[in-house]
Structure 1
Amino acid sequence: MQVGEITKDWLRSVLNWPITDADEITVAPLSLSNGAMGGVYRVRCADRAFVFKCPPSADSPWYRVCSEMGLLDREIEIYRFFGVGERRKIAPECYWSRLMSEGSSALALQDLCQAGRVMDRFVRGLNRNEAVAALRTLATLHGVLPTIDGDARASPLPWLGPASSDGLAAAITEGLSVVPSLVETMFPDNFPREHFSRIRQIDIPRVVARSHCGSKLLSLCHGDCWSSNVLFTSRLGCDGMGAMLVDWQFAMWGNPLSDVALLLLSSLSPAGRRAWVDDLLTCYHLQLTKDVAGYSLDDCYHDFSKAMPFAALVATATLDAYTCGLTKPELRHIAMRMEAIIDEIPELFVVS
């Protein structure tokens, strides 16, 4: 189903909206990547709105990866899994969904109506309260299916792929393939060219496997946790702030600290990350152990360290999405953050 197929009759019969023939439907694109990973739209009619998601078009560079991995179907399965109870607080409400096997993948989601441009928060970097709210939500997520000393290659859910799957490595490879040219265009003065020309020599499946296999804790992971995939709410949390996670296409079974590492690497300023990392990990661990027994703070630090190479790979591979539509001054902020990632994890750029 595509957004153009949404009619007033569909809104009445499927979503039970009490709209009249005089009410107009308006559609606005929301995708930060211009629909490369799939269409994302805000659909309004009368005084109601929802977010509609559909697969990418066949001419998208991500179409093959999205289709082969079944990314939108995976996101739909996540929302169905979160359908009831406390799990709903992790993500927006799903009003309607359809899997590929049921016709054509599509989702209709609660519109949380975030004010302003979501990329503004990413550019400046999360503040401490925002980071705490996001990590508490991640800890709640990671407490849903926790397994101590389990097998990272054996997901407990048939639709949830392990982090070590070939598809994830292929997606990272696809993202990394455009980074050298992207860096030359957007950051010509910030990075030595050899850093990124050597990306093609990294043994990506090995880095991914090492970051997930052998972690003390395994759980359901979001897989793409950067600040633009975190929506902040007034729900009770840190200083009245809560958070929900969106864009679950890369949900996976693996080391949950990969979500934490990616959020801190991609979405905090280097100075903020250095200053707050210990407090943030302690806060995350405190929330996590409300649901997970037998997992010490030392275990948490161990899994966080294991996850860092994977998080740096994902942060680098997602650079195109991170920078889409940013101004030159904003790009300078992102360049500083990317330099900090490279400086902190130099082994990523050593040929395996």
Structure 2
Amino acid sequence: MAGNRPTRGATLNRDSVRFNLPEREADGDWLDAQGDIDGEAPKLRTTVTIEKPRTIITRNQSPDVGFDRSINPYRGCEHGCIYCFARPTHAYHDLSPGLDFESRLFAKPSAAILLRAELSKPGYIARPIAFGTNTDPYQPIEAEWRITRACIEVLAETGHPLTITTKSDRVVRDIDLLAPMAARGLAAVALSVTSLDPRIAMTIEPRAPAPERRLAAVRKLADAGIPTHVSIAPVIPAITDHEMEHLLQRAAQAGARTASFLPVRLPHEVAPLFRAWLDTHFPDRAGKVMATIRDIRGGRDNDPNFGTRMRGQGPWAELLRTRFHIACRKYGLNGDRIIVRSDLFRAPRGPQGDLFG
């Protein structure tokens, strides 16, 4: 039944086998009886739980990731992207990386307060803070909760650098903050666009804004003087890989300065969710898709190793890289790097800022 629900990504809601959690698949006979009596099952509703963390900046030491700290205002993501590598994190809450991940969300309304406190600590050294490294900072609930915006306000006030990665055109709401920061070299934004085909986009990213809206956002950001990057992440073999050149052309036309791509990754519970999604939406090519992914990932569904996990390996991965580089040269992308500066930071004022400033 879950596979028939509209506007959701995962077709399953199984719990994590890594933590021996019980399965929560609905009983088919009961669902049939419910349908006879009550009609169709109600749509799966999104719920938001307030989370009260002690800190908000997450530190990272991965050698193949270009940032050492990040902020994630939310856990879970309503965009419902089937390939999302963050899905397995919901298992740590005894929730399913499947439908729970995209419908049972957590918000951190104290994020800006915690951020101000952490930036006020003696000896804090500023380096770019990355938003959107795990779940999307501009997913639909940001319109109401405005946690991402509150954090940007703190960073703008203190001259602290930031980068944002999102699949949403909602980021243009905050141009009033980001444009002045960009003028000082403090901000850059990446928009992720995986397909220009609305039908494919709705299938792989059911609640994310349409691709044309994201490209329009690239144009608005670029026109506002904000360095903008387009990420083709992920590239899914036999489903979206044929669009790479056209995507890069459209990105350049929209005003993006740089671009990147990432072959699809299927860590932990993402692999069985992705396989079930393929069987539902692309049964005619499911075998070909998985065979190509395994070729890129050294014979496995996923390669977790630093260095190769972001790039892939083998002939398919090399072909994608070659096509990407040729297209970037053709359309004038990646002529220079987008760099944000860290030398303008000043600790927040207020009780703690005055005490340590």
TM-score, normalised by the number of residues in structure 2: 0.29
Give the greater-gyration-radius structure (CA): 2
Structure 1 or 2: larger helix share? 1
